[in-house]
Amino acid sequence: MLLLTVKVTEAMKNQMQGFERAWYRLVNGDTSQTLDYALFKDVSKPDAVDGSSAGAEGEGEEGADAAKQGGATYTYVAGRIFYDNKGSGRWVYEAFNNVFSSERFG
């Protein structure tokens, strides 16, 4: 299984011109056909961090270190590619298009 991800820091988002127009896509190399694509701005935003939430207790020092070094990091999970050996016997792409923040999942 291959997990397709992109990791971006808050500092990178602020420094990069045109981040709102940035996108990623999956292309068939043989036919040049676009199989899937998404704009970063259209991917669902991570839940806001609430100091009273139960998820904040697992944050630990990693979340604090990320905040000191230019803000949170965001991991965009585009999808996964896996070989379906029990069904069709082909490679299958499953789109996720989610983003996870180090502030919430540190």
CA distance 42 to 19: 12
Nearest to 75 by CA among 4, 14, 7: 7
Nearest to 97 by CA among 27, 28, 18, 42: 42
Percent of the chain at pLDDT > 90 equals 27
User: For the whole prediction, is pTM greater than 0.85?
Assistant: no
Instruction: Give me the pLDDT at residue 94, please.
Output: 93
Could you tell me the residue ranges of all domains in the chain?
2-101
Look at the chain and count its residues.
Answer: 106
- Average pLDDT for the chain: 78
Instruction: Give me the pLDDT at residue 69, please.
Output: 58
CA distance 31 to 20: 28
Segments in 1-106 forming alpha helices (H): 10-15, 60-68
> Could you say which DSSP state residue 37 is in?
E
> Could you say which DSSP state residue 31 is in?
T
Instruction: Give me the pLDDT at residue 60, please.
Output: 44
pLDDT of 19-55, one tens digit each?
778 898 989 889 999 988 998 888 877 664 444 333 3
